[in-house]
Structure 1
């Protein structure tokens, strides 16, 4: 057998390490899954245990006509707590040293960089066609899925124009955490492999459109999980459609996580099917790896 390139194995290890992160929800989940997952990889012999730890995670923030790149810090749960004041120069980007963990749109910055006399954070650099080309090259060669998040609702954020420039270079999405402003991009975003989609602030009419794309992405195996905080954002028909698809996809065994509100299900056949699958799943459920709630306002699924 031909020797497997070290770079290829490194990419696989990095993506496997990253893949379990969004099984953790900081409100209702414990970090045990992620800790066990990381400890298992830490016991690998060199050089495999070095791949993930050797890369410094960065946030690329794009807002209006400016951008910034910072190394990020995470807390124990894996959430970004701040971006260090240390900037990363785009001209000195090294894919063997840095990895883009998050592509953020909006004005909010977690960095500690000071402001100038015009109250602008001094780390913001002007965007240009040349900078967009460099950012696209960085994203194309990124060694992990990149999370796409939205931190602002300001009208001058130019998120549509900026996302249009960068989207063709994104080959995998870790967390897709965006509000209804991104509705026109949903067909294209959900054609990319997505680990977890957190959709929020959608009106019911817009939710219907999003549901159609979620269903198609799940059928194609492109979407691993999703959540919405409020089940009443869905029409009952859309809610039942998503519950029914989860059941169809897991006829042989339970999903890792599944939260729903069974009282929101009107269709008698879907309700009976849910009850039947709950009984069928019970023998295969492990408290360490599965979690389900059937009377909660959360609507959450992870394959």
Structure 2
């Protein structure tokens, strides 16, 4: 099942993709995420035409966005870091999230944006102190994520928060329910392209910490709630580690594709060109990676 968020007069809502352009309403975002396992079984209206809707991120405004850095050994090796012994976690705010097709502006003072194609897991039930073996049962679904990064801001201090929360720097796809994805550690291919050229080509099988281990680790420190988004790290091939470094500039286009999950596209614009518009993507099945 594939779900997307869309804007309504009352706020945001969640719907289920149905055919080429249909969207079956499943309720307002807060109502849906109160009990997503039941909400997917209770349509709240007749199908809508997705091409007439404005799409928005499919997580609730209250979601925590918890991101893991340095979670692929080849990505650790291309930088100047040591292999972590625990997940390196930083936070995003939901205000930084966008959907496919939304322009991402390069912040003032940055040489460009850097790309990081990643798999995101969405929590489906209240979860505390779960074991790694049982943690995947708490995952409702998965999404494609691009952790667009302002490297100047990120590298000025040991804390990454500012560089990871630039305006509209967190594009994500709709959510594919966990039953359609299967074991995320079995080796989902992640491909990032800039202007059509492959810059990252990795596999979730290469994660240092599995999705289950990350969920378990976080749940021991905090209660996780339905709609919380856990972004699980990027494989090697990021721009700042290249020689010479390469960054995204106005006029560039970056896509991230994960097999069985989907594809997102983000055009890059100069800060002065940034306009908060979202073109609803067509409701078609994602291409094979």
TM-score class, shorter-chain normalisation, is under 0.3
Higher strand residue share: 2
Larger radius of gyration: 1
Q: TM-score, normalised by structure 2?
A: 0.24
Higher helix residue share: 1
Give the number of the structure with larger relative contact order, counting CA–CA contacts within 8 Å between residues 6 or more apart.
Answer: 2
